[in-house]
Amino acid sequence: MTDAQPITGLTTDRIAPHVLLCGDPARVDRISEAWERRKTVCEVREYRVVTGERGGIPMMAASTGIGAPSTAILLEELIKLGAHTFLRIGNSGGLAPDLALGDLVVTTGAVRDDGTSKSYVTPEYPAVAHHEVVGALLAAAGSKGIACRAGVTWSLDAFYMRNAILESDGGMGSMSVGGYWTRAHEARIEDMRSAGVLNCEMEAGVLLTLAGLFGVRAGTICVVSDRTPWPGPAEIDLDRNMGRCIDVALAAMDVLAAKS
């Protein structure tokens, strides 16, 4: 009987236990470009998965696509096949006023403002990064002299409705179709800021929730690629400092792999 998974088609003999996750399939090659024995093992829908070795340690780079539903599918399938350590490398919006484009943020825990994680467990269940992953990321950044913040991340579903643009009068406006906006949306952003939430993105909440439920290690490091409210197209940079973010994540995974 085969253990081939229904969506990715992956099997136990085609995965590695240490997984670096990203949203964009194009980023998989960038993460794994220096690995030995590189092999593409999956290219299905939004999922591109490459295995290889780094310093003799088997690793995997895999894309989740955008958002919680597709992330949960990939996590389910990889965990069932034996993967046990997950480190997400991503982009995020900066909520803290003192965060700048290109800053790095390590997630310690996530506000679960997504629907998928609530399909698994009550909203009161915490989405907490594994302490070994957080420690490895911060230590790796410190050893490389790279500044890095650690704190809570707002993990959301609706990219356009949970973000906002900065209006000419200094207020917030909508990124959605026709300028659809409510006072509750603006209040939600201000509430997150008042609570000291550092950044926002779309995958950490479900990643950390499922990792806690299924007993695996997981964490997230993100580049601040834009700020909320969004000043405009000129103020988004998906690649600023991404190379350093990947370097920190790889160094952290080296340490985590040695401990597993």
Q: Is the pLDDT of residue 3 over 70?
A: yes
> Which pTM does this prediction carry?
0.95
- CB contact at 8 A, 163 and 175: yes
Q: Which residues of 45-66 are buried (b: 16+ CB within 10 A; e: fewer)?
A: ebbbbbbbebeebebbbbbbbe
Instruction: Tell me the domains of the chain and their CATH numbers.
Output: 12-259 (3.40.50.1580)
pLDDT digits (tens, 9 = 90+) for 140-156: 999 999 999 999 999 99
User: Rounded distance, CA 157 to CA 168, Å?
Assistant: 27
- Which residues face 54 on adjacent strands? 57
Cα dihedral 104, 110, 111, 114, rounded to 10, equals 100
Mean pLDDT over 7-32 rounds to 97
What percentage of the chain has pLDDT greater than the value 90?
84
pLDDT level of residue 1 (50, 70, 90 thresholds): very low
**206-230 average pLDDT score:** 94
Q: Which two structure tokens, joined as six digits, stand for 195? A: 């609570």
pLDDT at 145: 96
Kindly give the residue spans of alpha helices, DSSP state H, lying in 81-182: 116-120, 131-143, 159-162
Lowest mean pLDDT segment, chosen from 1-5, 35-39, 47-51, 112-116: 1-5
Q: Is residue 29 scored above 60 in pLDDT?
A: yes
Q: How confident is the model at residue 232 (pLDDT cuts 50, 70, 90)?
A: low
Going by pLDDT thresholds of 50, 70 and 90, the confidence category of residue 231 is low
Looking at per-residue pLDDT, the higher value among 134 and 259 belongs to 134
pLDDT tens digits, residue range 183-194? Answer: 999 999 999 999
* Residue-averaged pLDDT of the chain: 94
pLDDT score recorded for residue 163? 80
pLDDT digits (tens, 9 = 90+) for 73-95: 999 999 999 999 999 999 999 99
- Out of 16-20, 80-84, 210-214, 222-226, pick the least confident: 222-226
Query: What pLDDT, on the 0 to 100 scale, is given for residue 233?
Result: 59
DSSP state of 230: B
Structure tokens at 100: 């700048």
